[in-house]
Structures are given as C-alpha cells and as structure tokens.
Structure 1
Amino acid sequence: MDVHLTIHGRHDLAGQLYRQLRTAILDGRLVPGERLPSTRDLALQIGVSRKTTLDVFERLIAEGYLRPRAGSGTFVAEATEGLRTRTPAASPAVQLASPTPPARTFDTPWNNMPAVLPMPRANIVYDFVGGVTEKRLFPFDVWRRCVAHALRQQARGRGGYHDPAGDQALRLAISRYLAFSRAVVCAWADIVVTHGAQQAIDLIARVLVRTGDTVAIEDPGYPPARIALQALGANVVPVPVDAEGLIVDALPKHAKLVYVTPSHQFPLGMPMSLARRAQLLDWAQRHDALIVEDDYDSEFRFDGRPMESLKSLDAAGCVAYVGTFSKTIFPELRIGYVVPPASLVAPLRHAKQVADWHSESLMQAALAKFMLDGDFSKYLRRMHKEYAARRNALLRHLRGPLAPWLAPVPSAAGIHMAAQLQTPLPEAELVKLAERVGVGLYGTARMYVARPPQPGLLIGYGHVNVAEIDTGLGKLAELLATVAT
C-alpha cells in the first residue's frame, strides 16, 4: 500500500516518522492487520536512511503498535483495535494528519467550580491585587546563599524521599517562630509542611470530611477554601460575619469543621474579638468540631496590640493552625504549614505522603537556614515598615480624593484593605473604569455566598509601592470625577 509521509527538513527524522505512523494507527487510518512497506522501501520512498526506518519500526514493535511476521513483513498489531479514536478513512492512501479526538464530557464537580483567583490583565500598570507581596525588596543575595547552602547539603546526602511532614530544621524554625510571634507553643514534630496554606486546608478536609458532612465557612469568605470543601462533597454552610468576626450563634449545630480567618477576616479585614474567640472555642469543644484557623498574613499588624491566635487559646485541642510563607516572602515560594491537634498529626502526615510524598526539599532547607540565621525576622521588620507606609498612603486616598466613591473598612493588619462602594456605580463597572487608566481593582461580590453581596473592593498594597499608589489612585480619582460630572 502507499503511505504518504511528510518529512520537514533534516531534524529529528526518526521522531517525525515515529509520530506520524503512531498517529495513523491511533487515528484508525492504519488498521489492525494491515501490512506496512519494508524498512528498505519506506526509506527510499521518503528519502531517509534505512537505519532511521529500522529504529522507528523497532520502537513501534517494542511499544506494541506493530507486529513482525517472519517471512511476511511488518503489520499493524491486532491489539491496537481498542485504541482507535475514529473510523478509518475510506481512501486507501493514508494521510497522516493530527487526529481530532471526539468531544467527550466527564462527570466531575470541577466542571462547575468558579475560578479561584483573578487572571492577570496585560494593560494593568498599577495592580492592587490582594495576597501578592513585594519581591523587589526581598534580599535575594541572602537567599542565594541559603539556596547554595541547601545545595551543598543535598550534594553530601544520599538520594531518596524525605519525611512527608517536612524538613526537620524547617519545622524547628517554624515552631520557634510561632512561639515568639503568635504564642503558639508546639514542638517541631507537631508541624506538617505543605505546598502553601491551600494544600494544608485541602489535606485537613481530606482527612476529616466525608461526603455529606456539614462544614461552616465565613460569608463573605475565602473562595479557595470553600471550593476545596465543596469538591469533597461537603455540605458547605456559609455563616455571616459582623464587626466582631464570625457569628458563632449562626453556626449549624452539626458542623464537623469550621473554617475561619480570625486575625484578619478575609476579605473584610476586621479581627475576631476576644469574646467571640472564646465563644467559638467553647462551641467547637461542645460540638466535637475542628476549627481551621487560617492565619494567612497576621505578621503585618499596624494598629493596637496583637490579637491572640485561636491556637494559643485552645486548651481542648480543637484548632488546626494554618500558616504560609507565600504572603510574607513571595507567592512562588509554595511553602505553608499546619499545626493540627495531636490526634491529626499522623493522619495528615499520611495524607501528605499520598498526595505528593513531600514538599520540595531544596527550598525547605534554604528557608530553614533563612529563618534560623535570623534573616527572616529582619526581613519581616523591614517589610512591616514598608507596608505600613503603603497602608497609610492608601488610607489618604480613600479618606481624601476617593471618599465620595469608596469607604475603607476598618482593618489593623495584613497586606490588603477592603473598601465599600459609596456610589450607585456598580462594582463591575468601577473595575472596568479603573482598567482604562491602568489601575487593577478587584471586587468582593464573588466572595459572598448566601448573603446579598455588599458592593466593594479588595485593595491589595503588597504589589505597589507608595509612589505607584499615589499615581494610580490619583488617576482613578481624576477619572471618577469626570464620570460623576
């Protein structure tokens, strides 16, 4: 039979021929039992060496696509019948184009899951996205020395998988840091290192939540946590928040898990009051429920005294404390951790092993040195001053030129601030208007579930410096003034 093959240039001849023949078999245009030309004839036909065609045939035979018959030639293997993706073409000539797989829909809850994070927009110059830190001020010269140290450690060690719970030195550094900064007293063995806070939340849910179990989240709240719980088939109940945080009296009594952000409520920003914290801990103990405390950016507190973490107040062992370095160093560093109740340490360690065995060991070792040498604390002190200046600049605009349109929600910590709309201008329209002058703003409506959304913005200042805040928000105020008139 004639086999029409197209060889482009003289690069990767064997690869080109292999892919085209394999595609034809999978596409059903070379049918099971069909005889192929000899390697010599095919080499002459397409202008390649016989060694090339021999290598390709041997690979396809080894993979089971072709079957040689002594004295008869080489044939398409009968076993490829089940691999065909569509009916063979009627023409005896085989045109080896890329196949078009048939459309197929799989039944998965992820088909209906909303987007977790906003996508970057190319025309944005002043991006007030939340949860993104300032990489331009990170001490990469110090970090390079930490990475080099970690590389030397790995070069001396034996190859192999590491502890799923994480690097021991890093867990020790985290335990010391938490004891000093958040009054969370724990041993290094109590900590499980994860790929960011998001994996910590997901692992806790996988270990504890079964299909149909009731779990509670704040409303408005953090969408990725809600999505992770919904994907596991949980009955996710949104619970309203007020000026003191989560309204404990509104919790469903059969909730197995309660997810909260007590230090800096996401997205509104207010801290949970001490009285409400005590009430929540008492509720969890009486209902045998787990509290997941996401302490995502409490390192940066600007007003008042630091609030105790729920974990530091937990005497009954019902709080899993979750933290991350993505909100203190930079998002690309996918390292987080969880300090669970003692009874969940072993299950979470096992779940982590099943999920991905362990987090990336080189970065863990580098971060351990960065922390144990005191460089992390120095960096936090420096960034605290920087973020405080940015927060003040943001407040000047919100209480000044932007006051007719936006009102800041009181917030004492973190690297973002929420603002409520003071104008009938819809949230989505304000976001589009800002984009016209290169300002990236992000609405909070999508973070509400059961409550009517309160039009507002989540304004991050981790990614923009004071000069950029002044320029970007100045442009926005000028534009809004023209729209209002």
Structure 2
Amino acid sequence: MSNTDKNHQSNLDAALLALTLDRIAEHPLHLQLSESLRALVLTGHYGGQRLPASRVFAGELGVSRMTVISAYDQLIAEGYLIARRGDGTYIAKHLPHLVAPVSRPAPSTQMTRPFLPFHPGIPDQTAFPHRPWARHLERAWRAPEARLLAQADPFGWLVLRAAIAAHLAAWRGLDCVPEQVVITAGAWDGFDILSGAGLLRGQRLAMEDPGWPTLYRLIEHAGLRPVPLRIDTNGFVSTRIPERVANAVVTPSRHYPTGIAMPLARRLELLHWAKTQDGLIIEDDYDSEFRYQGQPLPSLAGLDGLRRVVYMGSFSKLLSPSLRIGYLVLPEAHLNPVRAYLSAIGARASLLPQPALASFMESGEFATHLRRMRRIYARRQAWLLQELTPVSDLLDLRPDATGMHLCLSLHPKLRAATTDQELAAQGATHGLSLRALSTQAKLPDPPQGLLLGYAGFTEEQLAQAASALVRLLRYSARHPGE
C-alpha cells in the first residue's frame, strides 16, 4: 500500500470513528448509518478504501451487527460499495456520481409571489368557499358512482352541464339544454375546439380593439388571423368588419378592458351581420355575473336564440383561476362536428372537479357565493374610487356597474405630462401592478388609461396602494418627462 493509500485509509478510519447515530431519531439506525456512509463516499476521497468488518464496526458504534450489515447491503445494492468474498467491503472506484454535490440556488419563488395591488381580473382567493368545496369534492370521490368510472363523455360531466344550463337561464337569460354545453379547460381549449371542429369558416376573425391581449395568441394558435377593429363609446361596431370576414369574437355585456356595455341596437346590428354573412359570433362573457346595479344584462346568445352565437364562459373569475374549468354553449347545428372532434382527440378538461362543481351549484352555495362576492366587490370599487378622489383632475373616476376592475382614462392634463405605459413602469417600482390601456390595443393611436383591479385586494391594501398611486400621479403631472 502506498503512502497516499495509507493516508486515505487513515483519514477514512478517522471519519468513521467520528460517525454518531441518534437512537431517539425518527429514522432507524441502519438508515442513519447508510446515509452517513453515503455522504462519506460522495466526497470522492475514499475510493478503493476498505471498510471495517461488520462485527468490528458494530462494536465501535455500539449497535447490533445487523444494523451495519443492513447499511452495507443497501449501499452495495446502490453501487457505492463492493463486497469481495473473503476480503471484506470496499468503497467503489470511478463512479461518475462520486463527486461532491453541486451547490444550487434555492428554487425561485417568482411564480408563487402574491399579486401586487391593482392586478386586474383576480378574484379574492381568501373568500373561496374552501370548506363547502372540500365537502362536495370528498363526497363525489369517496364512493364515486359508476358513471364517473366509466368512459367519459367528451362534452363533460352531464350533471355539471345541466347545472350550468340552469345557472345561465337564471343569471344570463340564456335558454339552453345540457346537451348544448361543452366543458372546457379554459379559453385556449375553447378556441381550439371551435377551430378544430371547423366551426370558424375562413381564416380571419374580427375582434375588439383594445381587447384581451391573450386572445390574439389564442386565435393565432388556433390557426386563425385576428382582425382588430377599434371600438367607439358604444363598443364594437359591426359595420366596420371587412368583407370576407365571417366570424367575430366580442365581449358585449362588458367590453374588456373598458367596461362598455354594448347597447341593444348594436347587438341587433351584429346579429344581422352574422346572418347575412352566414357567420359565427363568439360571445366571451367573462365576469358579467358581478353586476352591482340591477340584474346582469341579457346575453347576446340569449337574444340570438343560440343560432349564430357560441357562448363562452368560465369559472376562473367566479371561483378561482386554479380550477381551470370553462364551458361553451353551442348552437344545435354545431353539436355533431364538435362531438366528432372531441371524440377523436379526447377532452382536455379534468373530470376530477366536475362532479364537485355540479353539486356545489345544485346546492345553491354557488349562487350564494356569487351574491356575497358581488356585495364585497361593489364595496371595494366604491372604496377605491373614494381613495382616488385627490386625483380626480388627472383620472376619469367613473364607477363601473359591472366587473372586477376599473378602466380609468387619463385626463388631458396628465396625458400632456406622461403616458399610461410610463406610469405602469413607474408603478412597478412602487409595488403597484398598473396595466396600461394602450398595451391592450394593436391598432395605432391607442387610448390612454389605467386598468385598476380591486376584487382581489382588501380595503386596507387598496387604501395603501391608492395612496402610492396618488403620489405617483401627482409627481408625474408636475414633472413631465421624468
């Protein structure tokens, strides 16, 4: 044995003598020993060195021989040790993983950080009905009925589809049957289904400008070409739709992001356009249940009688974005191609929450939750407007009868000093999530304004954020270009 080998063996013997085992720890002694030996092996300094005989090592550690044998056997099985018949147990050489563990930074928490004040479209997650939801979920899967374990309907759980149809009849004035409802995994899935089933004739789809930026990506992903059209003070203008465009997607009950409600005359014009073009309208009804003055406006699909309008809804804002459950309501003429498409590719929406959501809606707890949140959100909107009163000369502080965010236009005094995108960038440095209205548009000369979400934040959070925003706006108005 060379002097180097002798030194390594001596160092190993010293390290083995320093090992200690905790007899009152949760892990059994043989696991503690195997972990300690594995750590020694991973230092990479003892390859080829001989370990003490199991009887000797057990005496030194004050444990039973079986404890040492179990630890040795585990590490032999893992390839860290080699047993030589009649010669003892040795630490393996030349294993590629016998190196010191690489030090890596802790996992990033970026994706789990809380939403900053004024982030739009976020429901109050602390108000989610966790206990009732857990009860419905446990009841559905503790002893699932046979239909849940059978081949799934590509349109989704029928009981949930029936509950959605009942909800739409009561809240949105939409008369449909469960067979017309398709459960989706959200807006992306909904557009993919409509495109894949061949419902969208042609390659172009008219849409509102400004509008939901993600919608552009959804439309393009579906293989379509978005055609943005600038809205006016009454929302979408169907007479601006170019020729050879036979489809449109709109938010008539509450335009995103401005909050404009399309008047009846505009709705009738849009339906007439769809009839003359033999086209299809997709109605994205994303948060109209949260109406604070009177009943929610009737849906465009209800006005149409579900002939040329596909109604698109979601539970992301009504309950939680993590639920990932949405739905389509289809005209009867389009049911067969959609069923054929989904039968071929399979449904993407998870079946797991569907029976729980169905019973949650049937029990009346869903409607109770919506009424409760409608009161809370109305109070928060009024609170935010009151806190922003000091900058009424800089922002158009108009209340909104519906929704979860305010879209406040910049007054000329503020527009002369800065832009909404500059304000959004400055707000980020003050812990505010300000959405610039101009970033929601694709066409030139976009409107200037700020989107301020209030639904997901307490009155205290809104007051603090509003105070910071007031200071920011005042400073920006007094120091143009800074």
TM over 0.5: yes
Instruction: Give the equivalent residue in structure 1 for 2:210.
Output: 220
Which residue type is aligned with residue 468 of structure 2? Answer: K
SS at match of 2:457: coil
In structure 2, do the counterparts of structure 1 residues 457 and 350 end up closer, same or farther at CA, with 3 Å as the change threshold?
Answer: farther
- Aligned partner of 1:411 in structure 2 is 400
The answer to whether structure 1 residue 289 and structure 2 residue 279 are counterparts is yes
Indicate if the aligned counterparts of 1:126 and 1:469 stay in contact, CA closer than 8 A.
no
Any stretches of 5+ residues in structure 1 without a counterpart? 1-7, 14-42, 52-92, 98-118
Which of 276, 289, 294 is 1:299 aligned to? Answer: 289
Letter in 2 for 1:140: H
Report the alpha carbon displacement of residue 484 of structure 1 after superposing the two structures with TM. 4.0
Structure 2 equivalent of residue 378 of structure 1: 368
1:274 pairs with 2:267 = no
Map of 2:465 onto structure 1: 472
- After superposition, where does 1:58-137 map in structure 2 within 5 Å? 126-137=116-127
1:330-376 Cα shifts (integer Å, max 9, x gaps)? 11011111101112223223434445435222200100010001000
8 Å CA contact 1:246–1:260 kept in 2: the answer is yes
1:338 corresponds in structure 2 to 328
CA distance in 2 between counterparts of 1:144 and 1:271 reads 36
Distance (Å, rounded) in 2 between the aligned partners of 1:481 and 1:333: 40
Cα distance change, pair 316–47 in 1 and its aligned pair in 2 (3 A): closer
Is the 1:320–1:339 Cα contact (8 Å) retained in structure 2?
Answer: yes
Q: Per-residue displacement from partner, 1:436-460 (whole Å, max 9, x unpaired)?
A: 3322211122221124222222211
Residue 70 of structure 1: aligned partner? none
- Aligned partner of 2:429 in structure 1 is 436
Cα RMSD between the aligned structures? Answer: 3.1
- 1:481 has 2:471 as partner: no
Unaligned runs of 5+ in 2: 1-34, 42-75, 85-93, 99-109
156-165 or 425-434, which deviates more: 156-165
Separation (CA, whole Å) in 1 of partners of 2:174 and 2:200? 29
For 2:337, the aligned partner's letter is P
Q: Could you say if the C-alpha distance between residues 360 and 252 of structure 1 is closer, same or farther in structure 2, counting changes exceeding 3 Å?
A: same
- Describe the SS at the equivalent of 1:384: helix
Work out whether residues 421 and 438 of structure 2, in 8 Å CA contact, stay in contact via their aligned partners in 1.
no
| Cα deviation, residue 214, structure 1 | 1.9
Structure 1 letter corresponding to 2:406: M
Contact 2:204 2:226 in 1 (8 A): yes
Q: Match for 1:455: what amino acid?
A: Q
**TM-score normalized by structure 1?**
0.72
Distance 1:325 1:47 in 2: 52
Query: What is the CA-CA distance between 1:462 and the residue it aligns to?
Result: 1.7
The answer to which of 184-193 and 448-457 deviates more is: 448-457
Q: In structure 2, how many angstroms separate the alpha carbons of the residues matched to 1:284 and 1:226?
A: 21
1:210 Cα deviation (Å)? 7.2
Q: Is the contact made by 1:211 and 1:232 (CA closer than 8 Å) also made in structure 2?
A: no
Letter in 2 for 1:460: G
User: Cα deviations across residues 85-104 of structure 1 (Å, max 9, x unaligned)?
Assistant: xxxxxxxx99899xxxxxxx
Does the 8 Å CA contact 2:38/2:80 hold for their aligned counterparts? no
Change (3 A) 1:313 1:484: closer
Indicate how the Cα distance of structure 1 residues 217 and 466 shifts in structure 2: closer, same or farther if over 3 A, else same.
Answer: same
- The change in CA–CA distance for 1:162 and 1:484 in structure 2 (over 3 A counts) is same
Distance 1:365 1:173 in 2: 10
Aligned residues: 386
Partner SS for 1:163: coil
Is residue 318 from structure 1 mapped to residue 308 from structure 2 by the alignment? Answer: yes
AA of the residue aligned to 1:176? A
1:209 Cα deviation (Å)?
6.2
| Deviation for aligned residue 1:403 | 2.0
Looking at structure 1, the residues matched to 296 and 230 of structure 2 have their Cα atoms a distance apart, in angstroms, of 24
Task: Determine if contact 1:150/1:362 at 8 Å carries over to the other structure.
Answer: no
**Matching residue within 170, 179, 193 for 1:180:** 170
Deviation at 1:269, TM superposition (A): 0.7
Residue 226 (structure 1) shift: 1.9
> CA, structure 1 residues 132+282, in 2 after alignment: closer, same or farther (shift >3 Å)?
same
Determine if contact 1:203/1:352 at 8 Å carries over to the other structure. Answer: yes
The residue aligned with 1:393 is 383
Distance 2:83 2:400 in 1: 74
Amino acid at match of 2:394: W
SS, match of residue 276 in structure 1: helix
Q: Secondary structure at the match of 2:323?
A: coil
- 1:121 shift after superposition: 9.5
Question: SS of the counterpart of 1:419?
Answer: strand
- Write the mapping of 1:130-149 to structure 2, written as runs, cut at 5 A: 130-149=120-139
Letter in 2 for 1:227: R
Shift of 1:389: 0.3
Distance of 1:175 and 1:384 partners within structure 2? 21
Judged with a 3 Å threshold, the aligned counterparts in structure 2 of structure 1 residues 419 and 338 are, in CA distance, closer, same or farther, namely same
SS at 2:408 equivalent: strand
The Cα offsets for residues 230-271 of structure 1, whole Å up to 9 and x where unpaired, read as: 223323211121121101110123222100000110111111
Tell me if the contact between 2:174 and 2:298 (Cα under 8 Å) persists in the aligned partners. Answer: no
Q: C-alpha distance in 1, partners of 2:200/2:129?
A: 44
Residue of structure 1 in register with 2:49 after alignment: none
Question: SS at the partner of 2:141?
Answer: helix
Structure 1 residue 318 displacement after superposition: 0.2
TM-aligned CA deviation for residue 171 of structure 1: 0.6
Residues of 2 paired with 1:247 and 1:286: CA distance?
16
Number of the residue aligned with 2:157: 167
How many angstroms apart in 2 are the aligned matches of 1:361 and 1:252?
41
Amino acid at match of 1:435: A
Distance 1:411 1:355 in 2: 41
**2:292 and 2:375 in contact (8 A); partners too:** no
Q: What CA distance in whole angstroms lies between the structure 2 residues aligned with 1:222 and 1:158?
A: 36
Q: How does 1:445-464 map to 2 (within 5 A)?
A: 445-464=438-457
Give, in angstroms, the shift of residue 407 of structure 1: 1.7
- The 8 Å contact of residues 126 and 468 in structure 1, kept in 2 or not, is answered as no
TM-aligned CA deviation for residue 157 of structure 1: 6.1
Q: Sequence identity, in percent?
A: 33
Q: Is the 8 A contact 1:210 1:232 kept in 2?
A: no
Say whether the 8 Å CA contact 2:186–2:325 is kept in structure 1. Answer: yes
Name which of structure 1's ranges 268-277 and 408-417 shifts more when overlaid on structure 2. 408-417
CA distance 1:327–1:373, change in 2 (3 Å): same
Name the structure 1 match of 2:230: 240
CA distance in 1, matches of 2:117, 2:198: 38
